[in-house]
């Protein structure tokens, strides 16, 4: 784990070194690691003071000159902790041996620990886990959240105006692993956005989130049964955790996050005091950078740092994040219109619902990307959100059988229907649709022509279309008249010329032939 010595220990190391004791012997006498003694001796020699001068300094000065530091390499240590979690799960299997798993760890790790260190870290990790009942807060049980009382600022690039921003602080109480983020307001949108980022920073979900009684989290405060804001409750359901607001006027319910706010003033606010930020993104980028050293700093009265305790104890108790990120929902109501659509007021557009719900009053849940329609708490329609104003968004399965057929109308659809009745019907339909000024007009005429087959049959309709094409009388009315007057059974002028090979002009004594013009 981490190595941090009391200033009295530092003086003892210096004194023993001055007395001629070797580093190995000093480590044995003081009961600390030889590497730790080696590191401090190097620091003493590299300082601008002699050993005698260092012995004369008080404890506060020594502590300032040689602050506690960790010898843990976080990436290497993190990889070991993750592997040990798998090892612990495998202990229940028959034939389990630590050596087998160490060989696996050794083969797949670039910079592995020795087997001795592997076993030492395992015993430390799971000795702590077994003793977690001594802790005030069980690992993974809760996350405490709060907004800092003091604000940070960003600067308007054009006017130079200072814009105050809120600071969200969250802590996992068992390890005290902390997350900090700046946001514009304490409103519902910013609160939930910060909570989403918090869970992603932790890499998992605790059993509950303990918040203040602010309006964006709690719609009605109560000592015993507070009413949770609907959006905040849906956020919690999405991530599989509970919202457990602290009692009103009882900050002791989340004392650790109150303390984390004060530490945030010291370790983040103070370091940002002389910096200028022109956007929230720039400010949060710097906060994230400072959070690294904040969580890596060693505890004064406990072993290790926040990050080490989180990696070794608390992380494995967190539930995994869901596959999709939560999107903030808004709500509105609408009645299903006679045509089977609800009116969506934010964009003045329409979304279809199953036709059996016509006349019902529904509730609409919508996000930036989706629109959901509910009736009696049951979702009856789900649409991707379309920002186009006044648009009708349709799912064909929602339409009645008559409406479905109408929605399928297209040139190919009518050609397919016409193909059942003959080649001249197909040609006639194509010409009617091409000639129409507006597609729907052509579709209606085409449907009328095709339905004439119900009364007159396919053969007669095909012949009638043949006559209509030759006379260029391409309309539902003309084709209907041809069939009504039985003109489809009469030979056309074209047929007469083909059959007789003669002109259609009758012979007459007053009509001279071509021989008179030679």
pLDDT of 252 reads 59
Between 6-15, 138-147, 203-212, the lowest mean confidence (pLDDT) is in 6-15
pLDDT of 195 reads 92
Average pLDDT over residues 380-397: 84
Average pLDDT over residues 372-381: 88
Which of 26-35, 306-315, 396-405 is most confident?
306-315
What does the pLDDT look like over 311-332, one tens digit per residue?
A: 988 899 999 999 988 888 888 8
What does the pLDDT look like over 229-261, one tens digit per residue?
A: 778 888 888 888 888 877 665 655 567 778 888
DSSP characters over 306-340: HHHHIIIIIGGGSBPPPSS-----EEEEEEPPTTS
- The verdict on pTM exceeding 0.95 is no
Count the helix, strand and coil residues of the chain and give each as a percent rounded to the nearest 5: 50, 15, 35
Residue 35 structure tokens: 């590497």
- Give the percent of the chain with pLDDT over 90: 14
pLDDT at 288 over 90: yes
Tokens 């041996």 -> residue: 97
Helix (H/G/I), strand (E/B), else coil: 255: helix
CA distance linking residue 71 with residue 39, whole number of Å: 10
Using alpha carbons only, what angle is made at residue 13 by residues 7 and 16, rounded to the nearest 5 degrees?
140
pLDDT of 167 reads 93
Backbone dihedral angles phi then psi of residue 373, each to the nearest 5 degrees: -115, 130
pLDDT of 31 reads 66
pLDDT at 409 over 80: no
pLDDT at 438 over 60: no
Average pLDDT over residues 407-416: 72
Q: How many other β-carbons are positioned within 10 Å of the β-carbon of residue 426?
A: 19
What does the pLDDT look like over 461-470, one tens digit per residue?
A: 888 888 888 8
**Mean pLDDT for all residues in the chain:** 80
CA 176 vs. chain centroid, Å, equals 26
CA distance linking residue 274 with residue 153, whole number of Å: 11
pLDDT of 133 reads 41
* Helical H segments across 408-492, by residue range: 411-418, 423-435, 439-456, 458-471, 476-484
Tokens 């309709």 -> residue: 461
Average pLDDT over residues 357-372: 87
pLDDT of 64 reads 72
DSSP characters over 89-140: HHTTSTT--HHHHHHHHHHH-SSPPPHHHHHHHHHHHHHHHHTGGGSSS-TT
pLDDT of 291 reads 93
What does the pLDDT look like over 163-197, one tens digit per residue?
A: 999 999 999 988 889 999 999 988 888 898 999 99
Helix (H/G/I), strand (E/B), else coil: 246: coil
Residue 496 structure tokens: 């007469």
- pLDDT band at residue 79 under the 50/70/90 scheme: confident
Higher pLDDT: 440 or 57? It is: 57
pLDDT at 397 over 60: yes
pLDDT of 129 reads 46
Residue 29 structure tokens: 């006498």
Q: At what angle do helices 7-18 and 23-30 cross, to 10 degrees?
A: 140
HSE of 69, CA atoms in CB hemisphere, 13 A:
10
pLDDT at 337 over 90: no
Length of the chain: 518
pLDDT at 212 over 90: no
Higher pLDDT: 396 or 110? It is: 110
pLDDT of 280 reads 92
CA distance linking residue 166 with residue 232, whole number of Å: 19
- Give the percent of the chain with pLDDT over 70: 82
Average pLDDT over residues 31-37: 76
The answer to whether 115 and 145 have CB atoms below 8 angstroms apart is no
pLDDT of 290 reads 92
Backbone dihedral angles phi then psi of residue 49, each to the nearest 5 degrees: -115, 150
pLDDT of 301 reads 73
Contacts of 417 (CB under 8 A, 6+ apart): 429, 450
Helix (H/G/I), strand (E/B), else coil: 440: helix
pLDDT at 5 over 70: no
pLDDT at 69 over 70: no
Between 64-78, 188-202, 374-388, the lowest mean confidence (pLDDT) is in 64-78
pLDDT of 506 reads 62
CA distance linking residue 435 with residue 449, whole number of Å: 15
């Amino acid at each position: 784990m981490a190595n941090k010595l009391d200033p009295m220990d530092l003086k003892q190391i210096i004194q023993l070194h001055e007395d001629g004791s070797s580093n190995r012997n000093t480590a044995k006498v003081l009961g600390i690691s030889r590497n730790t003694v080696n590191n401090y001796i190097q620091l003493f020699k590299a300082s601008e003071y002699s050993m005698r001068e260092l012995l004369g300094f008080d404890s506060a000065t020594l502590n300032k000159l040689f602050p506690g530091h960790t010898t843990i390499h976080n990436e290497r240590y993190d990889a070991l902790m993750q592997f040990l979690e798998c090892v612990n799960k495998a202990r229940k299997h028959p034939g389990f041996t630590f050596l087998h798993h160490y060989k696996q760890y050794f083969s797949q790790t670039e910079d592995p620990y020795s087997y001795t260190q592997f076993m030492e870290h395992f015993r430390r990790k799971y000795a702590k886990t077994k003793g977690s009942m001594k802790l005030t807060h069980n690992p993974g049980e809760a996350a405490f959240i709060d907004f800092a009382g003091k604000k940070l600022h960003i600067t308007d690039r054009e006017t130079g105006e200072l814009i105050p921003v809120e600071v969200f602080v969250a802590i996992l109480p068992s390890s005290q692993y902390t997350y900090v983020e700046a946001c514009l307001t304490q409103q519902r949108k910013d609160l939930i956005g910060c909570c989403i980022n918090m869970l992603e920073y932790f890499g998992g979900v605790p059993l509950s989130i303990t918040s203040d009684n602010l309006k964006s989290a709690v719609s009605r405060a109560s000592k015993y049964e507070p009413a949770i804001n609907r959006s905040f409750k849906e956020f919690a359901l999405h991530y599989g955790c509970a919202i457990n607001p602290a009692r009103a006027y009882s900050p002791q319910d989340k004392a650790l996050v109150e303390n984390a706010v004060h530490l945030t003033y010291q370790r983040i606010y103070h370091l940002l005091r002389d910096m200028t930020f022109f956007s929230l993104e720039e400010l949060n980028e710097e906060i994230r950078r400072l959070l690294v050293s904040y969580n890596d700093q060693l505890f004064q009265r406990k072993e290790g740092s926040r990050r080490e305790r989180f990696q070794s104890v608390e992380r494995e108790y967190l539930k995994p994040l869901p596959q999709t990120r939560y999107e903030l929902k808004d709500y509105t109501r609408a009645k299903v219109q006679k045509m089977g659509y609800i009116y969506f007021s934010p964009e003045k557009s329409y979304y279809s619902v199953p036709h059996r719900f016509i006349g019902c009053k529904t509730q609409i849940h919508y996000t930036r990307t989706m629109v959901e329609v509910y009736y009696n708490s049951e979702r009856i329609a789900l649409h991707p959100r379309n920002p186009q104003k006044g648009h009708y968004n349709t799912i064909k399965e929602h339409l009645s059988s008559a409406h479905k057929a109408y929605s399928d109308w297209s040139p190919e659809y009518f050609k397919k229907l016409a193909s059942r009745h003959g080649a001249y019907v197909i040609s006639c339909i194509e010409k009617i649709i091409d000639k129409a000024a507006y597609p729907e007009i052509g579709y209606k005429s085409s449907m009328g022509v095709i339905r004439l087959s119900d009364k007159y049959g396919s053969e007669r309709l095909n012949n009638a279309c043949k006559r209509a094409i030759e006379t260029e009388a391409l309309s539902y009315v003309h084709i209907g008249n041809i069939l009504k007057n039985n003109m489809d059974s009469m030979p056309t002028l074209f047929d007469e010329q083909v059959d007789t090979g003669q002109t259609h002009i009758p012979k007459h004594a007053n009509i001279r032939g071509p021989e008179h013009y030679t």
